[in-house]
Amino acid sequence: MEKLIIQGNHPLNGEIKISGAKNATLPILAASLLSEAPIQVSNIPHLQDVTTIVSLLGQIGVNITLDERTNIEINAKELCSFHAPYELVRTMRASILVLGPLLSRLGEAEVSLPGGCAIGTRPVDQHLKGLQAMGAEIQIEKGYIKAKAKRLRGASIVMDIVTVTGTENIMMAATLAKGQTIIHNAAREPEVTDLANFLNTLGAKIKGAGTSTIIIDGVDHLTGGSYHVLPDRIETGTYLAAAAITRGKIKLKNTRPDLLESVLLKLEEAGAFIDTGTDWVSLDMKGQRPRAVNVSTAPFPAFPTDMQAQMMALNTVAEGSGVITETVFENRFMHVQELQRMGANIALKGNTAICMGIDNLHGAPVMATDLRASASLVLAGLAAHGETTINRIYHIDRGYECIEEKLAQLGARIHRMPEGN
Ligand code: UD1
């Protein structure tokens, strides 16, 4: 299996471009199932998760052409299947995003239940409850969600908890439903808004995305169109944290700093000097050690759970102690044990991690366990004295485009060791 090798303790310095958002690309590609007309999407990141959804859509009959750059052409005129098999869904939970669109477009969908994952049980009950409220008949058989509905009808749906892909699934399904759907307690993440903007470009009638009440007036069909995916705020935050942990100075272009205020405020609290423009953000530690910060994760606009592990890495070498509380996923501290192998002083109590900053981490062989946990190990490796080897990096490739190339562009001493070495 491939590994990343990092020689740490060098400040990052320089400029890089941020890629399109993974968590916007996945629902947007799934939503293309709703239209019979050609669609072009640009700013698509080259990621393993994108390859997975492209394979899934290909099996369903969608014609997809990807170019060398970041553009994709999609034609979902003739679909040949409503089945999302276990083999693909188990590699990426977000495959559940095809459930709403398939059901709405074909009146039938069979999607493998995603099951558990490293960061928690992650049920999909809210997705199913919403679709049932719209008239779908749903059965769970042999590990599959089997859903049927002649034509979904609009409904008023109150989500019991804030769920990002749950909101997206229902929003997509409601686009072609008969009548009006109102989603109460909807997720407000920018990627939900990006999906709504994409669907509206194709003629959908969605209002209120970005607030907790989304109103969708169903239409009979969608048209084709072109769309540019928004930048990845988590990739942006990860590189900023990487600069902060190495006491460096970087500028990130092609991004949207307005989408990550909660993260920028925490980095400032940690001692970073941050400057922003509409499509760029820069961070300068002026060579200083970061200060430890307290963080509590929650749905947008609060601090994102997808940045929790990276802030934990920062706290490990910061001055003072910081408390991190994870409220979104019940088991998202898999990185703690690996950080401890590098010398970090972290105590875990339930959903809280108390981290006493130490002067230096030391390089060690570590294991990536999930996507964002892997990012935190890369950050720790960049700051650590000596060599860090990160194993199982396929997790990183799911969500970070060319991570070693981008970090090398910022002066990091990092390389990928191919399989078999
Ligand atoms: C999305 C993001 C992921 C991010 C997460 C939280 C994508 C592709 N992934 O994941 O990167 O970490 O939001 O910001 O966009 N839950 C239920 N029942 C449900 C659905 C969710 O109990 O039907 C629970 C989950 O177990 C979790 C919480 O709700 O505890 C939030 O999960 P959710 O927002 O659904 O996460 P995802 O959409 O899977």
Q: How far apart are CA 256 and CA 278, in angstroms?
A: 6
User: How many Å lie between the centroid of ligand 1 and the Cα of residue 167?
Assistant: 10
117 is catalytic: yes
Q: Does any ligand 1 atom lie closer than 6 A to the CB of residue 165? A: yes
Q: How far apart are CA 38 and CA 370, in angstroms?
A: 35
Residue 117, exposed/middle/buried by CB under 10 A (0-12, 13-18, 19+)? middle
Non-local (6+) Cβ contacts of 337 within 8 A are none
Pocket test for ligand 1, best of 164, 259, 303 (most atoms within 8 A of CB): 164
Pocket test for ligand 1, best of 161, 235, 259, 262 (most atoms within 8 A of CB): 161
Query: Tokens 């089945």 map to which residue?
Result: 83
Q: How far apart are CA 121 and CA 112, in angstroms?
A: 15
Over the stretch 137-183, which tens digit does the pLDDT of each residue have? 999 999 999 999 999 999 999 999 999 999 999 999 999 999 999 99
Q: What is the pLDDT of residue 331?
A: 82
Q: Say if residues 12 and 243 touch (Cβ distance below 8 Å).
A: yes
State yes or no: cis peptide before 38, omega within 30 of 0: no
User: How many Å lie between the centroid of ligand 1 and the Cα of residue 124?
Assistant: 9
- HSE (CB half, 13 Å, CA atoms) of 336? 21
Q: Say if residues 311 and 241 touch (Cβ distance below 8 Å).
A: yes
Non-local (6+) Cβ contacts of 420 within 8 A are none
Q: Does any ligand 1 atom lie closer than 6 A to the CB of residue 405? A: no
Low-confidence ranges of the chain (pLDDT < 70): 115-121, 419-421
Q: What is the pLDDT of residue 116?
A: 57
Over the stretch 204-215, which tens digit does the pLDDT of each residue have? 999 999 999 999
Non-local (6+) Cβ contacts of 125 within 8 A are none
Q: What is the pLDDT of residue 122?
A: 75
Ligand 1 atom with minimal separation from the 125 CA? 23
Query: Tokens 């290909």 map to which residue?
Result: 58
